[in-house]
Amino acid sequence: MTPSFRMVASTLMFSAVLSAQAQTGTPVPAKAALCAACHDAQARSSQSVIPILAGQTARYMVLQLRDFQAGRRSNEVMSPMVADMTREEMNELSAYFAGQKAPVQGFVADAGKARLGKLKADETLCTMCHLGGFAGQNEVPRVAGQNYEYIVKQLSEFKARTRTNDAGSMTSVSSTLSAQDIENLAHYMVGL
């Protein structure tokens, strides 16, 4: 490799890092590409049981990564990803994905179901915790624009108590929801 080539290559790499930083305001962590292989918005139509991380609250994601590692939350695909993850990597990856712009949702919600979902959300006071428009805050996740299949899966798992890392908040709320309520709520939240 000639010195000039090396200089050009390192300048290119440096500017790629700079532009990624400029986009998100956060340096790109080493493992981010691995995560994006599944979590990237492009993959969502075919793999929508995988959640969108872009724009999710950092605090919530750190808690989930810790819970997966400690076995408080379990998923055969996601759990192995955190096996050797350090606390610092969890913080960096969460800050990075939180700083990314949430993609425009491609799912077309059913207007009638979405209307019933909104009524149910109002009646159940979901936004007392999740904030208006399900925007999320701190350890309470953003659900607005999340993938339809993923939302249905999580609410069903809270209801069935196969996901119980929520300190009781979601398992108690979802125990009152029917399968139809869950479908309606998902049609509503996916379009926010």
Interface residues toward ligand HEC, by CB under 6 A: 31, 34-35, 37-39, 49-51, 53, 56, 61, 63-65, 75, 77-78, 81, 93, 121, 124-126, 128-130, 139-141, 143, 151, 153-155, 165-166, 169-170, 173, 185
- Burial (0-12, 13-18, 19+ Cβ within 10 Å), 148: buried
Place of tokens 């890392």: 165
Give min distance, CB of 89 to ligand HEC, in A. 8
Give the residue with the Cβ less far from ligand HEC, 11 or 138: 138
Q: Computed from CA positions of residues 9, 11, 12, 18, in that sequence, does the dihedral angle turn out positive or negative?
A: positive
Give min distance, CB of 178 to ligand HEC, in A. 12
Q: Please, are residues 155 and 178 in contact by the beta-carbon 8 Å criterion?
A: no
Give the residue with the Cβ less far from ligand HEC, 9 or 34: 34
Structure tokens that stand for 176 in this block: 């009152």
Give the residue with the Cβ less far from ligand HEC, 15 or 136: 136
Q: Please, are residues 162 and 170 in contact by the beta-carbon 8 Å criterion?
A: no
Give min distance, CB of 24 to ligand HEC, in A. 14
- Using CA atoms, how far apart are residues 107 and 192, in angstroms rounded to an integer? 11
Give min distance, CB of 191 to ligand HEC, in A. 13
Give the residue with the Cβ less far from ligand HEC, 102 or 173: 173
